[in-house]
Chains A and B, each alone.
Chain A
């Protein structure tokens, strides 16, 4: 197995990984005098689960924000689907098929679970406001079609029983799941997960891991995730980027990363062995 192969590779569990979906080339991001990310390059291949790890303040979330268009890096290029991506607004990035979840849940508290998940379908809604004001006809048809897709996602994540509950009333673990549902409803090519297991108990973590693997398996969605739980990261991901102080210090399969001396020194430390 060779990670650097242009046409993808076969993972240990036998899944075929395709060509490059997204490539970060020499990204540097500064906030005033602070360098959050220094000259980082890595790629995300189609169909893989790619993890970004690193200690607190390593620049992982900044990296995710660069990918999702929140931050525009001062230097470097973002390539997506074989083309260089010009600086664009977050909503334009979303329209290109990149969805994400947040570290601190960013759901719409005033809306029901169903409405929250339906917002994930916004980019597929083509009727204009006049058609929606009349409702009967095109708008209703479109609503029903998208509802069908959303119901599939709701089934998949096993949140049928809370579909009409206001999000504000849900416990933390379920909120995380609803947020994942909203991202999945967009049927993204690339799904970004910012600490999907943060603050969860073991059982919830297992559920979430299962969902992540299933999403990747059933929909073929490419996933990039940030996570602190080393056990989870090493089990889930196909390849791992390790960051420290805004620099990339390791990149490879979980095994390679685990045996990388820089990574051990910087992050995993002696306690790992």
Chain B
């Protein structure tokens, strides 16, 4: 019953290739899905959705996307905020331009638009690596934010320069706009998270993922065994940007509802998502979730403890929160540079042998 592979024999390669080859793991995964889909929606309220679940789910998609690019393919990117903005503005233009089409399709299309933009900004990666590529993607970040501020067509010539999401429904239930209910928006995001995570897992365990990791680990050797560096780097940029675009679209339309580009999708966003995957663990889907949970939950937790329980003034707590989160990140990186995912792996290794470690 406990976490172990003894007695859990595989007789086909298909069985051996599953996402969770160990039975206990597999049941845990089904339990989490069951809980998330069938229990949480009934007990959830507005506070939990807006403060915890929605940011966690949406950032998890962005983190998975960035992890594909940085963790799996080894191409550093600081343009996440800009690409999220592309997703947001794409979905806005689609929602206002084609109101009769389902929002579900709009969000996927917004991901597609972002994928194309991502490929365009990924082109320098063929020539430059590492920090230099990071600077090139930083240019994308600033350029995209500037573009969405500068060209009124993107925000439909509104006086405030903001974009705000009109009400759209899925199966007759509002998921965007002012009249949404907590469980509906939660489930809507959860569906996207689940689909994205499964796609990411399928891509990374198969040929595409091996190509990306080969490029990450040693690009010269990758080329000599037949990996086309152009195609695989650009495919990583495309897939990564698709996820980030979807998360940007959800962030704007379902979560915030109204957005000013510089504020919502600034350079801070890029760093936040990058921290998530570094803390969560590079090259791990689980790590993307763990990192997103860590950076979303920690401030909420600290605020509740400092203001709610200790009764400190809000401004003091807010400043202290920055310091504590910053310190924790540094401590974390020193203690476990491979992130939460590595901690999880070590724990699982231990658990396999527990309680007889010899």
Tell me the A residues contacting B by CB distance below 8 Å: 68, 70, 89-91, 94-95, 99-100, 102, 106-111, 115, 118-120, 122-123, 125, 127, 129, 132-135, 139-140, 142-144, 147-148, 151, 182-183, 186
B226 near A132 with CB under 8 A, answer: no
Q: How far is the CA of A70 from the CA of B220 in the complex (A)?
A: 9
Give the residues in chain A near B202, CB-CB below 8 Å: 132-135, 139
What is the minimal beta-carbon distance from B219 to any residue of chain A, in angstroms? Answer: 10
Q: Which residues of the other chain, A, contact B207 by a CB distance below 8 angstroms? A: 122, 125, 127, 132, 139, 142-143
B194-213 CB mask vs A (1 if < 8 Å, else 0) is 00000100110011101101
Query: Interface of B with A (CB < 8 Å)?
Result: 12-14, 17, 199, 202-203, 206-208, 210-211, 213-214, 216-218, 220-229, 235, 239, 283
Measured in the bound complex, the distance between the Cα atoms of B221 and A94 in whole Å is 11
Chain B's interface: helix, strand, loop or mixed, by majority? Answer: helix
Do A122 and B210 touch across chains, with their CB atoms under 8 A apart? yes
Q: How far is the CA of A122 from the CA of B221 in the complex (A)?
A: 13
Inter-chain CA distance A125–B211, complex, in Å, is 11
Name the one of A118, A122, A135 contacting B226, with C-beta atoms under 8 angstroms. A122
Q: Which of B13, B208, B218 is A108 in contact with, Cβ under 8 Å? A: B218
A102 to B218, CA, bound (A): 12
- Partner of A109 from B217, B222, B224, B228 at Cβ < 8 Å: B217
Q: Chain B contacts of A91 at CB under 8 A?
A: 223-229
Residue among B211, B217, B228 having the largest count of chain A Cβ atoms under 10 Å: B217
* In the complex, chain B residues whose CB is within 8 Å of the CB of A147: 13, 17
A129-B235, A144-B14, A144-B17 as given contacts; A119 in contact with B203, CB under 8 Å: no
Task: Decide: A102 and B221 in contact? CB cutoff 8 A.
Answer: yes
- Which residues of chain B have C-beta atoms less than 8 A from A144's C-beta? 12-14, 17
Q: Per a CB cutoff under 8 Å, which of B208, B222, B224, B229 touches A129?
A: B208
- 4 new A-B contacts, CB < 8 A, other than A119-B211, A186-B225, are A90-B224, A129-B239, A133-B199, A134-B202
Given contacts A115-B210, A144-B13, A144-B14, contact A120 B225 (CB under 8 A): yes
Choose from A90, A108, A135 the contact partner of B206 (Cβ within 8 Å).
Answer: A135
Closest Cβ of chain B: how far from A126's Cβ, in Å? 9
> A122-B211, A143-B206 are known contacts. Are A94 and B13 too (CB-CB below 8 A)?
no
Residues of B close to A108: CB separation below 8 A: 213-214, 216-218, 221-222
The verdict on A119 contacting B14 (CB below 8 Å), with A110-B216, A111-B217, A139-B202 known, is no
Question: Which residue of the partner chain A has the closest CB to B283?
Answer: A110
| Contact partner, A68, options B14, B222, B224, B228, Cβ 8 Å | B224
Whole-angstrom distance from the CB of A14 to the nearest CB of chain B?
A: 34
Closest B-chain residue to A98, C-beta based? B224
Residue pair B223, A129 in contact (C-beta under 8 Å): no
Identity of the chain B residue whose Cβ is nearest the Cβ of A94 in the assembled complex: B226
Q: In the complex, what's the smallest C-beta–C-beta distance from B139 to chain A, in angstroms?
A: 27
Closest chain A residue to B228 by CB distance?
A91
Specify which chain A residues have a CB less than 8 angstroms from the CB of B227 in the assembled complex.
91, 119, 122
- What residues of chain B lie closer than 8 Å to A127, measured between beta carbons? 207
- What B residues does A125 contact at CB under 8 A? 207
Residues of B within 8 A of A123 (CB): 226
